Amino acid sequence: MWVTGAHVLLFEQYLARHAKEAAMMSSMPMPTHPRLMMALMGPVIGLLSGIVLGIFVVVATRLVRPAGVAATSGTSRA
């Protein structure tokens, strides 16, 4: 969420230095409200990225874990 907030807050400074990207925004959805579009799409993109990274972690865990080692619940019995 903080990344989206930074994008929204610093939007004007970004556009002042990136004319090419500013021109491309006119063809995007909601061209008259780019800050609103960023505020709506940022969390969605973050959620999807988190899901993809989570899938990578599950796959990597299964590839790295030695055979015969069961997954633990994080609690130990002494």
pLDDT in tens, 22-52: 788 888 777 788 888 888 888 899 999 999 9
Confidence of residue 58 (pLDDT cuts 50, 70, 90): very high
Q: Average pLDDT of 6-35?
A: 82
Q: Give the amino acid at 65.
A: R
At 72 the pLDDT is 63
Q: Are 35 and 12 in contact (CB under 8 A)?
A: no
Three-state DSSP state, 74? coil
If you average pLDDT over every residue of the chain, what do you get? 82
Q: What is the pLDDT of residue 77?
A: 58
